[in-house]
Chain A
Amino acid sequence: MHRGVWYALAVGGLAVAGIAHASGTIEALARTCNNCHGVNGVSAGDGMPSIGGLPEGYLKTVMMEWKEGKRYSATMGRLIKGYTEEEIAGLAAYFSKLPWTPVAQKTDSKLVERGKQATQSCVSCHGPTGKAAMPTAPNLNGQNAKYLEMEMRKYLDDSIPMPAMMRMMAKQVKPEDLEAVAHFYASQK
Chain B
Amino acid sequence: MNPIDRRSFIKALAAAPAASVLAVPAHAQGKPKARVVVIGGGFGGATAAKYVKMLDPAIEVTMIEPNKIYTSCPLSNEVISGHRDLASLQVGYDKIAARGVNVLHDLVESVDPMKKTVRTKGGKTLSYDALIMSPGIDFKYDSVEGYDEKVAEILPHAYKAGPQTTLLKKQLEAMPDGGVFIISVPPRPIRCPPGPYERAAQVAWYCKTHGKPKAKVLILDANDSHSKQALFRQAWRELYGYGKGEMIEWVPAAEDGKVVRVDPKTRTAYTNFGEHKADVLNLIPLHHAGHIALKTGLANERGWCEVVPMTMESAVHKDIYPVGDACIAGELPVYDMPKSAHMANTQAKVAAGAIVAKINGLPPPTPWYVNTCYSLAGENYGFSVVHIYRVENNKFVYITAAGGVSPADAPAQGDKAAVKVPRVQYALEAQYLMGWWRNIMADAFA
- A interface residue numbers (CB < 8 A to B): 1, 5-6, 8-25, 27-29, 31-32, 34-40, 43-48, 52, 74-75, 78-83, 97-99, 144, 146-147, 150, 153-154, 157, 159-160
A43-B368 in contact given A79-B388, A99-B17 (Cβ < 8 Å) = no
Other-chain residue from A1, A48, A78 in contact with B402 (beta carbon distance below 8 A)? A78
Does B436 lie within 8 Å of A48, measured CB to CB?
yes
Residue picked from B3, B10, B13, B360, most chain A C-beta under 10 Å:
B10
B254 CB–A CB distance under 8 Å: no
Within 8 A of A (CB), among B431-446: 431-432, 434-443, 446
Besides A22-B352, A47-B435, 19 more A-B contacts (Cβ < 8 Å) are A6-B10, A17-B26, A18-B18, A19-B55, A28-B349, A35-B346, A38-B442, A39-B18, A40-B17, A74-B428, A75-B384, A75-B429, A75-B432, A81-B399, A83-B388, A83-B402, A150-B427, A150-B431, A157-B424
B26 / chain A contacts, CB cutoff of 8 Å: 16-18
* Dominant secondary structure at the B interface: helix
A78-B386 in contact given A14-B360, A17-B21 (Cβ < 8 Å) = yes
Within 8 A of A (CB), among B371-430: 372, 384, 386, 388, 390, 399, 401-404, 406, 422, 424-425, 427-429
Count contacts on B: residues with CB < 8 A to the other chain. 72
B7 / chain A contacts, CB cutoff of 8 Å: 6, 9-10
Complex Cα distance, B428 from A154, in Å, reads 9
Does A16 lie within 8 Å of B360, measured CB to CB?
yes
Does B58 lie within 8 Å of A150, measured CB to CB?
no
Rounded to whole Å, the gap between the CB of B415 and the closest CB of chain A is 20
Does B438 lie within 8 Å of A45, measured CB to CB?
yes
A-B contact list, 24 entries, CB within 8 Å = A1-B366, A14-B360, A14-B361, A16-B56, A17-B26, A22-B353, A22-B365, A23-B365, A31-B353, A32-B346, A35-B345, A38-B439, A38-B442, A45-B435, A46-B434, A46-B437, A46-B438, A75-B372, A75-B384, A75-B386, A75-B428, A79-B402, A81-B403, A82-B388
Other-chain residue from B11, B13, B429, B441 in contact with A17 (beta carbon distance below 8 A)? B13
The 4 closest A-B pairs by CB, nearest first: A48-B435, A82-B402, A47-B431, A82-B388
Does B443 lie within 8 Å of A39, measured CB to CB?
yes
Does B435 lie within 8 Å of A46, measured CB to CB?
yes
Other-chain residue from B362, B439, B440 in contact with A14 (beta carbon distance below 8 A)? B362
Does B10 lie within 8 Å of A36, measured CB to CB?
no
Identity of the chain A residue whose Cβ is nearest the Cβ of B442 in the assembled complex: A44
Identity of the chain A residue whose Cβ is nearest the Cβ of B435 in the assembled complex: A48
B1 CB–A CB distance under 8 Å: yes
Does B425 lie within 8 Å of A79, measured CB to CB?
no
B6 CB–A CB distance under 8 Å: yes
